[in-house]
Amino acid sequence: MILLSSSRGSDIAQLLTMLIIFVVVLAASVWVTKWIGNYQKNQYASGNIEVIESARVAPNKWVEIVRVGNKYKVLAVCKDTVTYLGDIDESELKRQETSDKKSFSDVLSKAFSDKEE
């Protein structure tokens, strides 16, 4: 009987308190992650170097197309080495059309609306 003597109201208050703390910690972690991502993005965003595409050819081995200035280079990237393979003309590249970026809340609301239907 001692275990059952706590009041129901204090149990609900404790649950709500823990839920609020959880939501605050979750929101803070999302905000900090976005802030760090934007900081690192701006740190290296001079605009002169950009990885256009990467393709994995084996474990720890990649072929990458990199834009340096106005020229496009093809590189072989391995665990310990980077090898220059040659230049590629911009007209030879297939550019994918980037779709409008949706926010996470838009994607989440769409997923929930599809689930309800």
- Do residues 75 and 89 share a domain? yes
From residue 78, alpha-carbon distances to 17, 30, 62, 69 in Å are 50, 33, 6, 23
pLDDT for residue 100: 66
In a domain, 102, yes or no: no
| Tens-place pLDDT, residues 15-55 | 999 999 999 999 999 999 999 988 887 776 677 888 889 99
Q: How many domains are contained in the chain? A: 2
CB-CB neighbours of 66 under 10 Å? 19
pLDDT mean across residues, the chain: 85
- Name the pLDDT band for 109 (thresholds 50, 70, 90): confident
- Do residues 63 and 89 share a domain? yes
Would the pLDDT of 73 be above 60?
yes
pLDDT for residue 2: 46
